[in-house]
Amino acid sequence: MIEDMLRTPSAVRDAERYTAHNYHPLPVVISSAEGAWLTDVDGRRYLDCLAGYSALNFGHRHPALIRAAHEQLDRLTLTSRAFIHDQFADFCRELAALCGKDLVLPMNTGAEAVETGIKVARKWGYQVKKVAAGQANIVVADGNFHGRTTTIVSFSTDADARADFGPYTPGFTVVPYGDLAALEAAIDENTVAVLLEPIQGEQGVVLPPEGYLPGVRRACTDRNVLFIADEIQSGLGRTGRTFACDHEGVVPDMYLLGKALGGGIVPVSAVAADADVLGVLRPGQHGSTFGGNPLACAVGTEVVRLLATGEFQRRSAELGERLRAGLEGLLGGGLVAVRVRGLWAGVDIDPALMTGRQACERLMDRGVLVKDTHGSTIRLAPPLVITDDEIDHAVAQLAAVLAG
């Protein structure tokens, strides 16, 4: 039988047998990739319309990023922050310039960047704002997704992410996303920061109401509170601008970055802020063995240089309009809502037709990979190197799935 000759079924069974079930992946086993395309162990090709949750903004194996990684692998991969290596200053200087900030603190994962931002905000609150010891609080939004550490899930409103992981870390106030009045009311004399995703990705690419982010910026300025923008998924070209905050001309006090910063090669994250914020840290108060390592810095610097050209932001904006037009053409034909910002889309399927998971499985069968979230919602986040024809192909396959 043909199935007996395929490698995928046994690889899926082994993955199920030997790994903790903290994910529910589609039954596809990838062995190679290039640009916007993936190939599985049986030679079938798929159009990648997830891009590693934005970690692959520049596509799979972008030549400039692979070259930077190879060159660094031949010289030096890891030292320790007890020393300075020759890639460190370039990465920090060029990323700070891209962000318009004085300083950068490199870490590894997005969750580490968020944890770093929380620690810095609290220390700033005690040292600069003079909040009473142990009283600092941070205002966050419901529907948030900032990571999965015990501190971060303490202020999650997603039962799957939070349940049974208590006791929970105090010091957070949750308000409805997009409700400026509720956010302003939640800020008190002990509030040190407002932590928000400018666009809520995990929630289904939920866009902020017009004027919301500028209102948050004003409230933070007026009340002497730090505005922390979690741009780990939304930043670095994904939405058609360098940062999602740029769409409304908003500059936060602190950027949290990750995913695309590692070019799909190594985990790289960072916090970027001015010296009056990040400058509160002193030696020994925060760190990471692998944070800012030579390989990460070499790749991260090349990522920043790609973004500095503006090419990928332009591609995301222009191709995003094509994606929007295609998806909006399916409204009433199986889709009940479409939200698009650049090459990032959340689409709600009529739940009477199918669940999001079923849609993803049927798209997989048609050679397109996407991810579901929250019932009948699916997300599309293709690499920024995708072409017009490939976008049209993805939309056509979704139309075929919806048509049954």
Report which of 36, 13, 95 is spatially closest to residue 269, judged by C-alpha positions.
Answer: 95
Element (H, E) at 298: helix 294-308
Query: Regarding beta strands 45-48 and 368-369, do their DSSP bridges make them parallel or antiparallel, or are they unpaired?
Result: parallel
d(CA 93, CA 77): 20
Where in the sequence numbering do the catalytic residues fall?
A: 145, 230, 259
Residue 326 contacts by C-beta under 8 Å, 6 or more apart in sequence? Answer: 391, 392, 395
Q: Which amino acid is at 230?
A: D
- Say how far residue 200 (Cα) sits from the centre of its chain: 9
Report which of 53, 17, 12, 69 is spatially closest to residue 303, judged by C-alpha positions.
Answer: 69
Identify any residues that bridge with 273 across adjacent strands, giving them in sequence order. Answer: 103, 254
Query: Regarding beta strands 137-141 and 172-175, do their DSSP bridges make them parallel or antiparallel, or are they unpaired?
Result: parallel
d(CA 55, CA 34): 14
